[in-house]
Amino acid sequence: MEGASALPPVSFSLSQGQCLAVTGSNGSGKTTLLRVLAGLQRPTQGAASVRGRRCDERDQVFRQELAAQIGPPPVARDLTLDEHLRLVAQTWRSHEPNAPGQVTGIVQELGLGQLMSRFPHQLSSGQAQLFALALTLVRPSSVLVLDEPEHRLDVDRISMVIETLRSRISAGTTVVLATHDPRVSSELSDQTLHLTVAA
């Protein structure tokens, strides 16, 4: 619809190690807000910044700060999960001697060990969701932006994701997540931003 607003006016700031849960009904603008924060979309009004730097995915300094999982990630059909994760870890952590250890740790945290030799198209939808999260966590970041990290997960896997994110937040990572799950919001967030459908 021409002239329709995808996101109502919002304003917030977060300190290091805080978690904001963005809630609201379908179409209220959660993903749009996350896309703005991830620098994938410019707001038509207002501004978003991370550590004083405008959100822009083309800015390499910004990209080093913020990792986002918004929708399914692009994947290579002929690389296994293990190869994907090692590729991302080696790209972002080339100067870290323990880059392979980072992959192992995340695979364990998210219970993906049995799936590492599969291709992405051989995963269930919930397994694909966990893999997408692993791809996001395997690279360094001080800010995580996650769109419905509980999407398609069973209750045990949601607990696993909550624990994984809780440990990142305790270690100082700032998290902004959109969620439809009150448990994710109540167990992780310091602040909640509830969006209502823009007029």
Ligand X SMILES: Nc1ncnc2c1ncn2[C@@H]1O[C@H](COP(=O)(O)OP(=O)(O)OP(=O)(O)O)[C@@H](O)[C@H]1O
* Minimum distance of ligand X from residue 114's CB (angstroms): 30
Q: Is 168 in the site for ligand X (CB under 6 A)?
A: no
Q: Which stretch binds ligand X (CB under 6 A): 19-27, 68-76, 94-102, 153-161?
A: 19-27
Q: Which of 19, 24, 107, 150 binds ligand X (CB under 6 A)?
A: 24
Q: Does 28 bind ligand X (CB under 6 A)?
A: yes
Size of the site for ligand X (CB under 6 A): 9
Nearer to ligand X, 31 or 173 (CB): 31
Kindly state the smallest distance separating residue 112's Cβ from ligand X, in Å: 25
Are the C-beta atoms of residues 40 and 67 closer than 8 Å to each other?
Answer: no
Q: Please say whether the beta carbons of 47 and 67 come within 8 A.
A: no
Helix (H) or strand (E) holding 156, with range, is helix 155-170
Q: Is the distance from CB of 46 to CB of 52 less than 8 angstroms?
A: no
Of 164 and 179, nearer to ligand X (C-beta) is 179
Rule CB under 6 A: say whether 6 interacts with ligand X. Answer: yes
Q: Is 179 in the site for ligand X (CB under 6 A)?
A: no
Question: Does residue 170 belong to the site contacting ligand X (CB under 6 A)?
Answer: no
**Order of strands across the sheet with 174-178?**
66-69, 143-147, 174-178, 19-24, 191-195
Asked if residue 31 binds ligand X (CB under 6 A), the reply is: yes
Per CB under 6 A, does 29 bind ligand X?
yes
By CB under 6 A, residue 32 contacts ligand X: yes
What is the number of helices (H) and of strands (E) in the chain? 7, 7
Which has the closest alpha carbon to 112: 132, 139, 91, 90?
132
- What is the rounded CA–CA span in Å between residue 64 and residue 81? 23
Contacts with ligand X, residue ranges (CB under 6 A): 6, 24, 26-32
